A and B are shown apart, each in its own frame.
Chain A
C-alpha cells in the first residue's frame, strides 16, 4: 500500500456536523483511515495547536477546514492550516459561505451580546466574558476573505457519499469531478408548470407526495440549489432550504437566484414572493448571507465603522 497521506482537520466556529458526516461513511472508514496520516484533528487525536504550528510549511497534503472563522483563534487556525497544507478544502457550507451562523450578521454584535449575556429569561446583567478568551469579530466574514481556498465542498453537512467521493479522488491524486445539476434534477416529484395560488407554510395542509412542493405553494429552493445531496429532503416530504448553496459557479448570489428561479419555475411574480413569504432574507439566504451581495454590503458597513 502507498504511504499514508498526511492530513489535517481544522475546526473554526462550527457544529461538528461535517466531521460527523465524514464518520458516517461507516465501513468505508476501514479503507480511508489507513490511507491517511492524521497530523491534526482535535476531536479525535491529541495533537495540540503547538504541534500544528511546529510542522513545516506545506508538509501536510490535504487540510479540511470546518466552520467559519469569527474568533481570533479561528482566524489564526485558518491561516495556519493554509500555511501547512498544500490543498485547503472549505469543508461544508459554513466554511464555503458563512453558513447558518452567518445569520448573526442580521444583527449588531451588541444586540447579540444582549440576549446572550445581559438580558434573557434566565440571565441578567452579565458582562461579556473576556478572560483567557479570543476576541469575537463584529461580523462573520467568509473564510475566503482570509485565505485562498483550493476546493469548496458545500453542504450542511456534505453527505457521506460526497465526502467519500472527494476523499477517494484526493488520495489518489485525481481531480474531483462533481455533477452540476440542481436539487430539482434529483427530485422525484412531478412539475406541471402551474402557477401558485397561495404561498403555504410547511405545517399547513397535507402535501401531495407526488407533485412539486413549490407548485403546491410550499416555498422550495431546490431549483437554485446545487444538487450534490441528491434531493434527500424533497424526496422525504420536506422542502429544500438550500443548504448546499448555489450550483457552479458557486460564487453566484444564491438568494437572488432563488427569487428569480421561483418566478420561472413556479411560476410566481417576484413581487408576490416578497409580499407573501414571511422571512425572505432568512429563507433565501439561509446558508450564504455573508457571501451574498447584500451580505457583502453589511460587512462593508462594519468595516467602515472600524476605520
Chain B
C-alpha cells in the first residue's frame, strides 16, 4: 500500500447507539488511528435543570430505550439520596425485580438478535442473510425460544412499571403501585419453561465458545481497567459500592457512590459527542476502564445465585480473572442472564412481593446533592442531581454506560485493526463452519 487511507464504517450496525468508525492507515499500511465516533447527543443534563426532582425519573429513561429501567431507578435513587428518603423494603424488592427482568430480556435480545447472526451465518455472510429475520426463517425453534425469553422479561417489567419501555411507577419514597397477585402467579407459572430456555441458551453459548475459542483467546485481547458495582464482592446490579480493578487484577478502589468525583475522570475526545471515562488517579488514557458484563464479572469474586456462580467458575477456567478478552463479553452476558433469571424466580416467590406497603406518604423535599448508581445491561450508570429546598433540580451530571465503554471499545478496536490490517491475523484463525450455510 502506498497511499494513506481512511476507512469509514457508517453506521456501525447491530449496536445500540449512534456510531460510526474511522480507521486511518498510513502509507506503510500501519494503523495510525482508530476513532469510534458517537455522532449524536441530546443534552439531558441541561434540560433536567429546572424540572421538579420527582419528574427526573420520568424524563431520564429516554436516554436509552433499551435500558430505561436502570435510568428510571438510578434517577429515583439520586432524588432519594438528595432528599434523605428511604423507601419501604417491599418497594426495593419490586424495583429489583424490575431491573433483573430488564437484565434478563436485554441479555437475551443481545445474544440472539445482535450477536447470534454472526455465528449462525459466519462473520462473512451477505448482510441480507446475517440478521435476526433470517434466523427466524432458518432456525425458527431457536428464534421462538429467544422471543419467549424476551417476552418474559419485558412483560414482567410492564406489570410492575406500567410500561415495558420508559416505566412510570417509581417515585421518590417507593412505588406508585404494588404487584397484583394474579400477575405474580402468572409469572411463577412461566418459570419452569423459562428456566429450561435459559439453560438451553447456556448450552448454545458454550458450543459457540468452544467453536470460536481461537477468536476469543486471540483477537482483541486488551488489558484495561474495569469498573462495576459490587455487593461485598458479589455481583449486584441494583445496589452496592463501586469497584475499580487494575489491568493486573488488583482492586484499587471500592467506594460509596457519593464519593465518585474522586475516582471518575471524564475526557472530552475531539471526535466523539460521548465523553470517555477513566480512572482518575491513573490519568487518561492509561486509566481507561471498561464496564458491561465482563467488567462486572472481573471486579467481583462471585455471583449471587448458585447456577450463575457455577457458570462463572466454568468461564474462569477458560479465560481467567481478570479476563481481557473482548469476545468473552458474550460469555459473561450468559453468566449474568442466568443470575437475572434466578433473581426473578426468587423475588417472584418472595412472600412480600405483593405487599401493598410500597410507598411513603410523608416525603418532603429538601436542598441536597444526591448520587444514584445502578448497573445497566451495558454497564454502570450514574445520576447526580442537586436539589433546592423546594425540590427543584438545579444541576445534573450523568455518566452512562456509553461513556464508560467507548474509550475501551476504541482500545480494543485499535488492537483488532492492527491484527487485521498489519498482521492479517484473521487469515490464520481457526473458524468453525457456519451453523447455516446459504
Contact = CB atoms under 8 A, between A and B. Distances in A.
Which are the 3 A-B pairs with shortest beta-carbon distances? A17-B65, A126-B268, A237-B176
A11 interface: yes
Most buried by B among A38, A74, A132: A132
A172 interface: no
Interface size class of A (residues with CB under 8 A): 35 or more
Nearest to A103: B47
Interface stretch (A28-36, A78-86, A174-182, A258-266): A28-36
A133 B164 CA distance: 33
Contacts of B35: 131-132
B173 interface: yes
B397 A120 contact: yes
Interface stretch (B144-152, B193-201, B249-257, B330-338): B144-152
Most buried by B among A16, A41, A47, A156: A16
Nearest to B274: A129
B55 interface: yes
Contact of B177 (A18, A27, A237): A237
Interface size class of B (residues with CB under 8 A): 35 or more
A151 B51 CA distance: 32
A38 B131 contact: yes
Interface string A1-33: 000000000011111111111011011011001
A121 B65 contact: no
Nearest to A33: B133
B41 A116 contact: yes
Given A24-B154, A129-B269, A203-B173, A15 B51 contact: no
Nearest to A134: B39
Contacts of B176: 202, 207, 236-238
A73 interface: yes
Contacts of B11: 42, 48-49
Interface string A100-132: 110110110001100111001111001101111
A122 B265 contact: yes
Nearest to B397: A121
Contacts of A233: 162-163, 168-169
Interface in A39-90: 41-49, 51, 70-71, 73-74
A238 B162 contact: yes
B72 to A, nearest CB: 11
8 contacts: A13-B42, A17-B62, A21-B65, A48-B9, A48-B11, A206-B361, A232-B162, A236-B176
Contacts of A41: 131
A44 B132 contact: yes
Contact of A29 (B50, B136, B268, B275): B136
Most buried by A among B15, B177, B272: B177
A34 B171 contact: no
Contacts, number: 255
A51 B361 CA distance: 56
B372 interface: no
A122 to B, nearest CB: 4
Interface string B154-195: 110000001111101101110111000000000000000000
A41 to B, nearest CB: 8
B272 A129 contact: yes
A111 to B, nearest CB: 6
Interface in B22-45: 22, 35, 37, 39-43, 45
A20 B157 CA distance: 13
Given A43-B16, A49-B10, A233-B162, A204 B42 contact: no
A100 B10 contact: no
B10 A236 contact: no
Interface string A193-206: 00000000111111
B26 to A, nearest CB: 17
B431 interface: no
Nearest to A67: B40
A282 interface: yes
Given A17-B68, A122-B397, A104 B62 contact: no
A206 B63 CA distance: 29
Contacts of B148: 26-27
A240 B42 CA distance: 23
Contact of A202 (B68, B171, B272): B171
Contacts of B324: none
A282 B10 contact: no
A42 B113 CA distance: 12
B95 interface: no
A132 B268 contact: no
A131 B270 contact: yes
B166 A157 contact: yes
Contacts of A201: 52, 54, 391
B360 to A, nearest CB: 8
A131 B46 CA distance: 23
Interface string B394-419: 01110100000000000000000000
A20 B66 contact: yes
Nearest to B24: A132
A300 interface: no
A137 B175 CA distance: 38
Contact of B14 (A33, A44, A107, A123): A44
Given A45-B128, A104-B43, A127 B177 contact: no
A136 interface: yes
Nearest to B271: A131
A167 B133 CA distance: 16
Contacts of A23: 109, 113, 150
A286 B12 CA distance: 31
A34 B396 CA distance: 45
A208 interface: no
Nearest to B63: A15
A279 B392 CA distance: 9
A48 B397 contact: no
B13 interface: yes
Nearest to A92: B65
